[in-house]
Amino acid sequence: MSDAPGYGLADEHESLRRAVREFARAEVAPVIGDYYERAAFPYDIVAKMGAMGLFGLPFPEEYGGMGGDYFALCLALEELARVDSSVAITLEAGVSLGAMPVYRFGTEEQRGRWLPDLCAGTRLGAFGLTEPGGGTDAGATRTTARLDGGQWVIDGTKVFITNSGTDITALVTVTAVTGRGPEGRPEISAIVVPSGTPGFTVGQKYSKVGWSASDTNELVFADCRVPADHLLGERGRGYAQFLRTLDEGRVAIAALSVGLAQGCVDECLRYSAERTAFGRAIGGYQAIQFKIADMEARAHTARLAYYDAAARMLAGLPFKKEAAIAKLVASNAAMDNARDATQVFGGYGFMNEFPVGRFYRDAKILEIGEGTSEVQRMLIARELGVGPEGSRAS
């Protein structure tokens, strides 16, 4: 079986990678197919991930975290997604979308109130950005929040929100229009809404093509009231906050995509050695060899792209372009590898009992979530100075 090399990883990173790899093989792989078929949330797996400290990886110990960094989270996501993407996206959303905004933009009181449980994985956080009329166009937010007697009153609808409706969901950070700025532009702020708040309704979970063992719901806010101190960060800075959140999230989704792409290689290596056709293992045929070689090349290249973006992020360097490149390259690799893996498996690849069937169903969303592939190309071009909104020449 293929196993991702260390690439000169620091000892703590390599140790983590191997530990998560073994966990994914031993604890996730044998049972996740059943959860997937039932579209059931794997509470027991999530609890074990919490006990391992995975939800607290990039956070300081003072908040209940593991004192690691964002790259450690990416390594964990890659190894989980080599086996299953539903579990991986639960971790990704819980950390980079649920807990990270509280850590990045919250007050000390907010961090102390919410982060310990989120870091422990005993509770999950979610990020309510996307709306029915605007996914990519987040600036067209229609959800509103107004101050009334020391409370924010929130009205609106959010869609496709991961981790928002589980029994252990603690909060959703919601972006909302809180006023108007210069030239009438909407002032967007981020507000934390705890689960169970009156006026906050979690809709029926979606029936999805993939990620079937993860939690995704529509959220409705109708005269939903939370205290004024639930504002996250500065009023009117919600748009800038979610741009930072998405830049980091793209590196994480790239890592998850690499995991799926590498998982396709893993499964094809195993299957091509076992499956025979015309008197010999199909791995002996050059057509299969070339297909697997291309798959490995895609995964390898995409891994280097997200490693580079993560390194720049941790060094405090600009990484918007590199994050977009990593997300674009890695999601393409995941989709291409899932298609090729299904072809290698033939009819069995079309059966959900085989992991590549799940991989095929899971891959497409990676070209959509955290910014579509078209948005990534737009960001890359803008960073290169192409077009009227280009920021600099390269």
Report, as residue numbers or ranges, the catalytic residues: 370
Distance CA 92, CA 370 (A): 11
- The three-state (H, E, C) secondary structure of 189-206, written as one string: EEEEEECCCCCEEEEEEC
Q: What is the DSSP code (8-state) at residue 99?
A: I
Q: Residue 294 region, left (φ>0) first, then alpha (ψ -120 to 50), else beta?
A: alpha
What length is written for the chain? 394
Distance CA 224, CA 155 (A): 7
Q: What is the DSSP code (8-state) at residue 330?
A: H
Backbone angles phi, psi at 64, to 5 degrees: 95, 10
Query: By CB neighbour count within 10 A (0-12 exposed, 13-18 middle, 19+ buried), where does 90 fall?
Result: buried
Cα–Cα distances (Å) from 262 to 38, 79, 83, 356, in that order, read 25, 9, 9, 11
Distance CA 125, CA 166 (A): 10
DSSP string, 172-235: EEEEEEEEE-GGG-EEEEEEEEETT-TTEEEEEEP--SS-TTS-EEEEEEEEEEEEGGGEESST
264 Cβ contact partners less than 8 Å away, ≥ 6 residues apart: 295, 299, 334, 337, 338, 340, 341, 356, 359
